[in-house]
Structure 1
Amino acid sequence: MQGQGPRWYARTLGLLALLAIGLPLHASAGDYPERTIKIVVPFPAGGPTDVAARLIAQSLATRFGKGVVVENHPGAGGRIGAKVVAAATPDGYTLLLGGTNVNAIGAIFTDLGFDPVKSFAPIAVVCIDSLAIALSPRVPADNFKEFIVYAKDHPGKLKYGASPGIYTQFAGEYFKLKTGTDILFVPYKGGAPAVTDALGGHIEMVVNNKSNLLPQFKDGKLKALAVTSKERWPELPQTPTMREVGILGFPEEVLFGLLAPAGTPRAIVMRLNSAVNEALRSAEVRASLDGIGVDVRAGTPETFAAALDEQAREWKRVIEETGIQVE
C-alpha cells in the first residue's frame, strides 16, 4: 500500500460508493437482455405507432430470445406514456415508441415533469409517415382549387377534425393560415373517430396520417385533397403535394422510433439499435410496414437525434406562425 496517496484513496472511496448504491462500474450489454423488455406506446392500440411497436417487439423477441411486450399509455398527445418511460430505470427494459409527436413537438410544451428531448436516449428510427388533407364525400369539391373556393364561400361553417395538441391539429391550422380559409377545429380523442365522422359527413375535412387515411382513399370513401410528403404518394399519383398546390413550409415527414430513458448504457443502446436495424432489413417486417403505408428508415442513434432536433425546429415554426397556444 506504500506510495498510494490521497488521490488513490479518494478514487477507492468513489468506487465503493458506486458499489454501495448498486451502480455498475462498467456499462456492458453482454448479458442483455436477461428478462422481458417493455415498449410503451403513448397512443391507443390500433394506430400506426402501435402497429410499428408490435412489429418491432415481435422482431426483438425473436432476436433476443426474450419476451418483449407492448403497453399502451394514451393521453395528452402522447405525453402521459412518455412520462412513464422518462421516469423508468435506464437499464434497457422500458422503452418508448416515440418520435415526431412525443419528442420533437413535445419539446415545445412546458411543465411536463420531464424533458421530451433530454429525458431520452434515441435508439433508432423505425419508419416515417406523412399526412394528408382528406374531404368527406359529401363535400361538393373534387380537388384543391374547388375546395378552397367552397370553403371561402362558407366561412366559419365547415369543420375539420384532429387530435388536439399534436401534429394533425397543427397541420390543419397551418393549412387554414396558408389558404386563408375559416374552418372550425373539432377536437377528437384519436384519429379514428375523426375519420369516422368525416365518412359520415359530420365534419367536412380531416387531417391524419397516410397510414390511417390510405385505405379510405383506395376505397373511394374519402377524397384526397393534398399530401405533405416531398413526392406524391405512389398509391395516389393523381393527388398533389402541398408544395405543388402552393403551400410551402409544411414539415414533410412524421418520424416513429425507439427511445430509452436518458442514462441507458451506450452498449445497450447500440445492441438495441443493431437489433432494430436488423429487423428492418427483414422482408417480412418491411412488407408489414409498407402494408400500413409507412416507409422503413433505419439509421444510427445520432441520425435519429439529429432528425428529431430538425423536426422540433420545423414544428416550432409552424406553431409560432399559426399562433396556436400550447400549454
Structure 2
Amino acid sequence: MRALSRRGLLVAPTLLFSSRSALGQEDAYPSRPIRLIVPFGPGSTTDILARLVAQKLTDQLGQPVVAENRVGAGGNIGTEVAARATADGYTLLLGAASTNAVNPSLYSNLRFDPIRDFTPVVHVASVTNVLVVHPDLPVRSVPDLIALAKRQDLSYASGGAGGTIHLSGELFKNLAGVGMVHVPYNGSAAAYPDLLSGRVPVMFDSIATCLPHIQGGRLRALAVTAPYPSPLLPGLKPIADSGLPGYVVEGWYGLFAPSGTPGPIVARLNAALVRALSEPATQQALLQQGAQQKADTPEAFRAFVLSERDKWAALIKAAGITQN
C-alpha cells in the first residue's frame, strides 16, 4: 500500500504537469506560422478567398498564416493532405462545397471522410451563381427557359463535372422537369467562347465571372441561384422566386481543422475570423468576388455542412453523376 501510495504521489504530479503543459500550449497558440491548404489552383475563387483569410488571420493572431496550393483530383489531393495533418491548429483547410460536401458522393475511392476527418471552424462566405443565356435565345425569364427547354433540345455549359456550377444545372433540370444536355469544360473560362457564340446557350456561373459580359450585353441574366438577391445584380430575383420554388444553390467556402484539434484552438480561430469578417473592408473584398460573409459558430457550420452533404448526395444519386 505504501509503495502504491508513493507511486501514486509520483504519478499524480506528472499528470498534473502534463495537463498544465497541454493547457499552456493551447493558451500560447499560435506560437509559429500556420499553413492554410488551398485545394485548388492560383486564381480560383477558393484561392482568392484563402489568401484573404490568410491575411486576416495573420493580422488577428500575430503569426504568419501561409496559403499553400495543393491541387488535383477535384480538390481531393489538398483536402487529404489537410485531413492527414497533425491536429494541433498549425495546418488548416480552406474547404469548399465540392471538397467537403459534394465529393463524397461523386468519388467512390476517397481516402478520407470530409465529415469524420475535419472539425468545421467557421463558414467564411457563400457565392451565388447566376443563370445566364446567350442574347439570341428567345427567353427573358425562368418560366420562358423552362418552356423552351420542354419544346426543344437545349444544352448548358459548366466548368467541369461535380462542381456547384454543374449541380446548379442538374438541380434546375430536376425541379423543372426538363432534359438539358450538360456540356462540361476544363474550367469555366474554357466554356466562354462557346457560350458567347451561342453554341452552348445556357450556363450557371459565378456572378463575378459573368458580370462584365452581362453589363456588356453579351449575356442575358435571368436569375440568381441563391435564396436572396446579390448586391452586384440587385434587380435580379432568385430562381426560387422566379418560377421554380425550392431551388437553392450556393457555392460556399469555410475554414476547417483536422479532426481532434483542441476545442480552445478551434474557438480562437473562429473568434479571430469572425472579427475579421465583420470588418467593412473584408466584406467589400468578398463582394468583389460575388461573395457574402457568413461568420457563424463551429456548431452551426457543422450542421450546415451535413445538410449540404445530404442534399447533394440525393441529387447526385438521382442524376447518376459519377467521377473516377
The TM-score, its normalising length taken from structure 1, stands at 0.86
Contact 2:168 2:249 in 1 (8 A): no
The aligned residue for residue 32 of structure 1 is: 29
Please, which runs of 5 or more residues in structure 2 have no aligned partner?
none
Given that residues 37 and 94 in structure 2 are in contact (C-alpha distance below 8 angstroms), is that contact kept between their aligned partners in structure 1?
Answer: yes
Q: Is the 8 A contact 1:27 1:265 kept in 2?
A: no
2:45 to 24, 45, 48: 48
Q: Which whole-Å CA distance do the structure 2 matches of 1:6 and 1:195 have between them?
A: 77
CA, structure 1 residues 133+90, in 2 after alignment: closer, same or farther (shift >3 Å)? same
Q: Which ranges of structure 1 fall in alignment gaps of 5 or more residues?
A: none
Quickly say closer, same or farther: Cα 1:2–1:256, change in 2 above 3 A. same
Return the alpha-carbon distance in structure 2 between the equivalents of residues 317 and 211 of structure 1.
29
Cα 1:133/1:6, change in 2 over 3 Å: farther
Alignment match, 2:317: 320
2:56 and 2:203 mapped to 1: Cα distance?
33
Given candidates 111, 129, 143, the residue that maps to 2:109 is 111
The amino acid across from 1:205 in the alignment is V
Q: How does 1:254-293 map to 2 (within 5 A)?
A: 254-293=251-290
* Whole-angstrom distance in 2 between the partners of 1:41 and 1:172: 26
Conserved 8 A contact 1:132-1:224:
yes
- Give the letter for the 2:178 counterpart: T
Report the 3-state secondary structure (helix = DSSP H, G, I; strand = E; otherwise coil) of the residue aligned with 1:146: helix
Q: 1:191-250 CA distances to partner (integer Å, 9 max, x unpaired)?
A: 332345423434212222334333433343321122222233344344332222332333
Q: Give the Å deviation of 1:96.
A: 0.7
Distance 2:201 2:89 in 1: 44
Distance, in Å, in 1 between the alignment partners of 2:207 and 2:167 is 16
1:77 counterpart (74, 78, 82): 74
Q: How does 1:200-215 map to 2 (within 5 A)?
A: 200-215=197-212
In 2, Cα distance between equivalents of 1:6 and 1:190: 68
Moved more, 273-282 or 178-187: 178-187
Cα distance between partner residues in 2 of 1:154 and 1:268: 56
Distance in 2 (CA, whole Å) between partners of 1:121 and 1:174 is 28
- For 1:246-257, what aligned pairs fall within 5 Å after superposition? 246-257=243-254
> What SS class does the counterpart of residue 300 from structure 2 fall into?
helix
Counterparts of residues 73-152 of structure 1 (less than 5 Å): 73-108=70-105, 109-152=107-150
Letter in 2 for 1:135: V
The one-letter code sitting in structure 2 at the alignment partner of 1:46 is G
The alignment of Structure 1 onto Structure 2 pairs a total of residues equal to 320
Indicate yes or no: 2:189 matched with 1:186.
no
Note the C-alpha offset of 1:267: 1.7
> Amino acid of the residue matched to residue 277 of structure 1?
V
Code of the residue aligned with 1:145 in structure 2: it is P
Q: Quick one: distance in 1 between partners of 2:292 and 2:270?
A: 18
The equivalent residue for 1:304 is 301
CA contact (8 A) 1:229 1:241 kept: yes
RMSD: 3.0
Structure 1 vs Structure 2: percent identity of aligned residues?
A: 36
Q: 1:290: Cα distance to partner?
A: 1.6
User: Per-residue displacement from partner, 1:173-193 (whole Å, max 9, x unpaired)?
Assistant: 222233343322122232332
Q: CA 1:45–1:200 in 2, change beyond 3 Å: closer, same or farther? A: farther
Tell me whether 1:228 sits opposite 2:203 in the alignment.
Answer: no
- Which shows bigger deviation, 115-124 or 234-243? 234-243
Relative distance call for 1:26 and 1:325 in structure 2 (3 A) is same
In the alignment, the residues of structure 1 paired with residue 64 and residue 216 of structure 2 have an alpha-carbon distance, to the nearest angstrom, of: 37
| Pair 1:5–1:208, CA change in 2 (3 A) | farther
Query: Would the alpha carbon gap of residues 192 and 6 (structure 1) be closer, same or farther in structure 2, given more than 3 Å must change?
Result: farther
Deviation at 1:85, TM superposition (A): 0.5
Cα gap change, 1:4/1:50 in structure 2, threshold over 3 Å: closer, same or farther? Answer: same
C-alpha distance after superposition, 1:282-314 (max 9, x if no partner): 221111112222111112111111111111122
Q: Measured at CA, do residues 210 and 170 of structure 1 come closer, stay the same or move farther in structure 2, by a change above 3 Å?
A: same
* Offset of residue 316 of structure 1: 2.1
More helix by share: 2
Tell me, yes or no, if the aligned pair for 2:101 and 2:309 is still in contact at 8 Å.
yes
Name the CA distance, whole Å, in 2 between partners of 1:213 and 1:10: 68
